[in-house]
């Protein structure tokens, strides 16, 4: 039974009108937190038939009957009606309550309170009813505050995930948005401090609630809030999604249902946009992959949570891939179209894929299930091509726009998947400064990643200036530029014939340029230590602002 704007039995006993009666609880002391929906006073033997449940019943005991059997039946009928408590005023009918009344109340778990002093029942009723009305007003005010915060989140550019996370913090429980047929769109959990420590991740909770996705949906816990998110326009009666809040960490309060209904109305407005559910599901998968990369999900728990999101790889290795979009390509308002286009391109791969999007970083992380470790290069080629094709479909590249960067991580099991995703994500950011490739192998980016991490250090900029500064100054004003010659020479490990062929130069011209470079830098280009320093400086130059 759910009661809107109720107070508890314990709170009612603290109010002045009942305190004046010197109340004594003689049964069900542990149930004084029962909600009081209303107050009723009566003396009729059949009073139980007039009650709906949740009432605080005031009586002098005239209707209790004279025989123990009648008294036991009277108490049992009240307990069956699930009234909040029975308050008996001693004096007019009983000096002390019969043992049959007290024993039956204890066995039925019905709070039983004795008043040792006479009080006006009308004063008690008036005071408790006023308190209930005030409580109801406070509930509405709290629900309105949540609604206002959610509206502010949307006006500030947030979306459904931000609203759900805010509501989960308010409710202290995980919050789920699901399709009408029970498929998960997004899961949000309460923030640290609003739920007990060590509580389960929202995806673990969902997996436990839904079991193995059987045809018949399992029963949700009692008092779970389930609110329809309308869709299809006003008055159509159609359901776009469902907002579900189970009492996993803390009990569900009436204010949670009120706030959930108002939040559902806001979500309906956001979901009116095309493909919002598709984007929302992709953002949920992106959050999972980000949590896995940051170590917020244990490797032992990850397979079950991934299964909830539809990722069911074989026993082969997992391959992490991260695509990083340039600022020009990041779709401010069309992430849904991007997610849809990439998902369609990836569907032809024939391998299990978990695709997510991460709006804050402009990143698209993926996890793929390989049959064999030897398939890594072949799958990487196809995945990179599918990712780039999806970006092109979602919004054709503009002239001069840098293509997306795709980094393929190291394959491994679930224990390695999180660190490998994090490594690939950082490498993808560093690789934005590198020449364009179909995809970058994370195993060849360690030096660039290290230099990128040092990009803000003045020592790195000073090193670049010492090593190749004169060459950079020369190329600003003189022609031909010499930097490309040095880069090609070092890339070919000092092999002059290959360098000349790549630059379309005859050998003598190449020798002249190398001699000018050596003179400008005051270096011997045949010295291994000099070659190492110049190679590092050329790579560091890409990361130094």
The CA distance from 166 to 221, in Å, is: 22
Q: What is the pLDDT of residues 461-478, one digit of tens each?
A: 999 999 999 999 999 888
Q: What is the pLDDT of residue 89?
A: 92
Task: Note whether 405 and 428 are within 8 A (CB).
Answer: yes
Burial class of residue 393 (count of CB atoms within 10 Å of its CB; 0-12, 13-18, 19+): middle
Burial class of residue 48 (count of CB atoms within 10 Å of its CB; 0-12, 13-18, 19+): buried
The CA distance from 440 to 513, in Å, is: 31
The overall average pLDDT reported for the chain is: 86
- Name the superfamily (CATH) of residues 458-541: PucR C-terminal helix-turn-helix domain (1.10.10.2840)
Q: What is the pLDDT of residues 248-262, one digit of tens each?
A: 888 887 788 888 888
The CA distance from 205 to 304, in Å, is: 10
Residue whose C-alpha is closest to residue 102's, from 52, 54, 68, 142: 68
Q: What is the pLDDT of residue 3?
A: 43
DSSP string, 244-257: EE--SSSPPPHHHH
Q: What is the pLDDT of residues 413-439, one digit of tens each?
A: 999 999 999 999 999 999 988 888 999
Q: What is the pLDDT of residues 287-334, one digit of tens each?
A: 999 999 999 899 999 999 999 888 999 899 999 999 998 766 555 456
pTM equals 0.64
Token digits for 288? 């999972």
Residue 230 has pLDDT above 90, yes or no: no
Average pLDDT over residues 358-386: 90
Q: What percent of the chain has pLDDT over 70?
A: 90
Lowest mean pLDDT segment, chosen from 22-36, 212-226, 293-307: 212-226
Q: What is the pLDDT of residue 198?
A: 54
Residue whose C-alpha is closest to residue 341's, from 392, 276, 397: 392
Query: Could you give the 3-state DSSP secondary structure of residue 38?
Result: strand
Please tell me the class of the 157-272 domain.
alpha beta
Q: What is the CATH number of domain 279-452?
A: 3.30.70
Q: What is the pLDDT of residues 127-154, one digit of tens each?
A: 888 888 877 777 778 778 888 888 887 7
DSSP string, 415-426: HHHHHHHHHHHH
Residue 402 has pLDDT above 80, yes or no: no
Q: Which residues pair with 188 in a beta bridge?
A: 175
Q: What is the pLDDT of residue 399?
A: 43
Task: Note whether 206 and 176 are within 8 A (CB).
Answer: yes
Residue whose C-alpha is closest to residue 537's, from 473, 477, 485, 483: 483
Q: What is the pLDDT of residue 4?
A: 45
Lowest mean pLDDT segment, chosen from 283-297, 388-402, 470-484: 388-402
- Name the architecture of domain 7-130: 3-Layer(aba) Sandwich (3.40)
Residue 534 has pLDDT above 90, yes or no: yes
- What are the structural domain ranges in the chain? 7-130, 157-272, 279-452, 458-541
Q: What is the pLDDT of residues 50-79, one digit of tens each?
A: 888 888 999 998 888 889 999 999 999 999
């Amino acid at each position: 039974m759910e009661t809107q704007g109720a107070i508890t039995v314990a709170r009612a006993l603290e109010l002045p009108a009942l305190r004046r009666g010197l109340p004594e609880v003689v049964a069900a002391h542990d149930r004084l937190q029962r909600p009081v929906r209303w107050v009723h006073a009566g003396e009729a033997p059949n009073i139980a038939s007039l009650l709906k449940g949740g009432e605080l019943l005031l009586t002098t005991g005239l209707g209790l009957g004279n025989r123990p059997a009648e008294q036991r039946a009277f108490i049992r009928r009240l307990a069956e009606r699930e009234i909040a408590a029975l308050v008996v005023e001693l004096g007019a009918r009983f000096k002390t309550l019969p043992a049959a009344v007290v024993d039956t109340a204890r066995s039925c778990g019905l709070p039983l309170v004795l008043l040792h002093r006479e009080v006006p029942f009308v004063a008690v009723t008036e005071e408790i009813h006023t308190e209930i009305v005030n409580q109801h007003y406070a509930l509405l005010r709290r629900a309105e505050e949540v609604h206002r915060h959610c509206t502010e989140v949307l006006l500030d550019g947030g979306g459904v995930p931000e609203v759900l996370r805010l509501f989960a913090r308010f409710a202290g429980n995980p919050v789920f948005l699901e399709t009408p047929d029970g498929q998960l769109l997004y899961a949000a959990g309460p923030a640290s401090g609003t739920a007990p420590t060590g509580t389960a991740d929202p995806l673990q909770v969902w997996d436990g609630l839904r079991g193995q996705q059987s045809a018949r949906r399992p029963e949700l816990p009692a008092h779970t809030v389930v609110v329809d998110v309308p869709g299809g326009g006003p008055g159509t009666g159609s359901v776009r999604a469902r907002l579900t809040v189970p009492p996993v960490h803390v009990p569900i309060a009436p204010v949670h249902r009120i706030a959930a209904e108002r939040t559902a109305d806001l979500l309906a407005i956001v979901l009116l946009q095309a493909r919002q559910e598709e984007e929302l599901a992709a953002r949920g998968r992106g959050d999972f992959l980000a949590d896995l990369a940051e170590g917020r999900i244990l490797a032992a728990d990850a397979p079950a949570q991934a299964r909830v999101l539809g990722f069911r790889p074989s026993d082969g290795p997992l391959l992490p891939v991260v695509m990083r979009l340039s600022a020009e390509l990041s779709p401010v308002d069309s992430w849904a179209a991007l997610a849809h286009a990439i998902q369609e391109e990836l569907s032809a791969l024939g391998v299990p894929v978990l695709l997510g999007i991460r709006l804050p970083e402009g990143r698209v992380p993926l996890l793929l299930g390989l049959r064999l470790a030897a398939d890594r290069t072949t799958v990487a080629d196809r995945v990179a091509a599918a990712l780039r094709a999806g970006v092109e479909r979602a919004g054709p590249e503009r002239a001069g726009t840098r293509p997306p960067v795709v980094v393929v991580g190291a394959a491994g099991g679930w224990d390695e998947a999180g660190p490998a995703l994090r490594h690939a994500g950082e490498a993808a950011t560093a690789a934005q400064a590198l020449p364009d490739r179909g995809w970058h192998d994370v195993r060849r980016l360690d030096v660039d990643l290290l230099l990128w991490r040092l990009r803000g250090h003045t020592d790195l900029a000073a090193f670049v200036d010492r090593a190749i500064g004169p060459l950079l100054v020369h190329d600003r004003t003189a022609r031909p530029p010499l930097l490309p010659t040095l880069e090609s020479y070092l890339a070919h490990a000092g092999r002059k014939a290959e360098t000349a062929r790549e630059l379309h130069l005859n050998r003598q011209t190449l020798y002249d340029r190398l001699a000018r470079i050596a003179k400008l830098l005051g270096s011997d280009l045949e010295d291994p230590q000099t070659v190492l320093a110049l190679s590092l400086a050329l790579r560091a130059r890409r990361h130094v602002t």
